[in-house]
Amino acid sequence: MEIKKTAIAGTLESSDVQIMLSAGTNGFEFELESDVAKQFGDQIKETISNVLGMYDIKDAKIKVVDKGALDLVIKARAIAAVQRALDIVDAPKWEVL
């Protein structure tokens, strides 16, 4: 699947994460801002990459500002961002959810 438009999901509030997705050409290009990037950066990226993978997205620019979100929050925000970026908010992909 190809990203149709830039989309954002999540907030900058404590325990949340803000994810901005836009079209890319070179795999997953991450920019991550997090207090715990050293400890959990790879895990955060992996969670988001998995979600993108479920939607069959191969290329994307992913800008993440993490405020200490738990894994399930990251997953939920990533799903919301993807649905918006693919313009399928009205027709969610149930098998992924």
Partner 1 sequence: MDERIQDIYLSNKSAKDQWMNFLKKRGIGNFAENETKFIEQTIGIFADDGSLIATGSLANNVIKYVAVCDLGAQSKGARFNKIISELESRLALLDRFHYFVFTKPEYQLSFEYVGFRTLAATEFGVILEKGTPNITEYLAKIPRFDNGKVASIVMNANPFTNGHRYLVEKAAKENEHVYVFVVSQDSSLFKTSERFELVKKGTADLKNVTVVSGGDYMVSFVSFPSYFIKNADEIIKYQTMLDARIFKTQIIQPLRITSRYLGSEPLSHTTNLYNDALTQELSDKIDVVIVDRLQIDKEVVSATKVRRAIAENKINQCLEYIPKTTATYILENLEELQLRIKKGQKIDGN
Residues 97, 86: Cα–Cα separation, whole Å: 15
- Closest CB to partner 1 among residues 25, 91: 25
| Stretch of 4-12, 43-51, 70-78, 88-96 lying at the interface with partner 1 (CB under 8 A) | 4-12
Closest CA relative to residue 80, chosen from 44, 59, 52, 61: 52
Q: Number of H helices and number of E strands within the chain?
A: 2, 4
Should residue 20 be labelled a site residue for partner 1 when binding is judged by CB under 8 A? yes
The one among 45, 58, 61, 75 contacting partner 1 by CB under 8 A: 61
Residue 30's identity, in one-letter code, is F
Instruction: Please say whether the beta carbons of 32 and 17 come within 8 A.
Output: no
Q: Which of 63, 73, 88, 93 binds partner 1 (CB under 8 A)?
A: 63
Is residue 45 at the binding interface for partner 1, with CB under 8 A as the rule? no
| Tokens found for residue 84 | 């918006």
Query: Could you say whether residue 37 binds partner 1 (CB under 8 A)?
Result: no
**Residues contributing to the site for partner 1 (CB under 8 A):** 5-8, 11-14, 18, 20, 22, 33, 61, 63, 65, 67
